[in-house]
Amino acid sequence: MALPILLPMTSSDISESTSLPALPSCSSRCSPWLTPIAYWLGQHLVLPLYFGPITITGQQHIPSQGPVIFAPTHRARWDSIVLPLAAGRPATGRDLHFMVTDDEVKGLQGWFIRRLGGFPVNVRRPTVSSLRHGIDLLRNQAMLVIYPEGGIRREDHIHSLKPGLARLAVQAAATEPDLNIAILPVDIYYGEAYPRWRCPVQIHVGAPLKVNAYLQGQTAPEVLKAGAKHITTDLKAQLRAMIAERQHRTIPHPPEPVGGPDRP
């Protein structure tokens, strides 16, 4: 079964009103029997057999409770399998809900995705029902995964972020001011553009952005719009800094000449 390409909501048509019409909602759930099996297979069989060493840092930033949006870089289809190892049930005891393209939620693959926490969004024509379901999950203290860059980007630098993640976050916060949503940037790196057998994996979870800090208890449309814009800007800056720090740490530096750097 092909792995889904997970994409964020990117529509500029997301309503700025906190009142959402009563439309049929899309749905997702984490099956009480299928999800543990999938996590176990990923943690103990698939990932150890395919990859080399897997390094995970920054897990202290993941809240033990409350609504969370993970905002990972998107470098390969493997991302949706390695991320649960760092932030899903094996690490936190909590399940992840992925926002996926509606093209992936069809047939047998769709049956599995919906039962493993995935829910669809039409990235060409996002619907209110997708937004409603994302907000409902956050209001129920769930953990969402939305790739802010959109599709897979092979280059090892941050790309332009889509506005959908921040818009959904402020919309949810506006419906329930005490929700305390945390947005966590995540840097996923495989050591090469196309992950090959036995290549290493690095996953770093960054410090959270607290959505309420951008709204200050206000729900006016102009405040939500400005808050979403500032969140997107700060999220991009934080992801860029995380990538730069990892690159500085992992790229070999030439040794200094014997006798010190000033010796001719």
Report if residue 26 sits inside a domain. Answer: no
* CA–CA dist 258, 26 (Å, integer): 65
In a domain, 256, yes or no: no
Domain that holds residue 127: 34-249
More confident residue, 18 or 103: 103
Number of domains forming the structure of the chain: 1
- Please name the residue that has the structure tokens 């409770």: 65
Quick check: is 115 in a domain? yes
pLDDT averaged over every residue in the chain: 85
Q: Residue written as tokens 């969004």?
A: 121
Token couple for 75: 């470098």
Which amino acid does the sequence have at 97? H
Read off the pLDDT of residues 33-90 as tens digits, 9 standing for 90 and up: 999 999 999 999 999 999 999 999 999 999 999 999 999 999 998 999 999 999 999 8
Give me the CATH number covering residue 44. 3.40.1130.10
- Beta-sheet strands, E only, within the chain: 54-57, 68-72, 96-101, 119-121, 143-145, 182-189, 201-205, 209-210
Residue 263 placed within a domain = no
Asked whether the predicted pLDDT for residue 166 surpasses 80, the reply is yes
With cut-offs at 50, 70 and 90, classify the pLDDT of residue 195: very high
Whether residue 205 is contained in a domain is answered as yes
Look up the pTM and report it: 0.84
The set of residues, in sequence order, having a beta carbon less than 8 Å from that of 213 and lying 6+ positions away, is none
C-alpha distances out from residue 93 to 62, 64, 96, Å: 11, 9, 10
**Cα gap 98→115, rounded to integer Å:** 11
- 210 within a domain of the structure (yes/no): yes
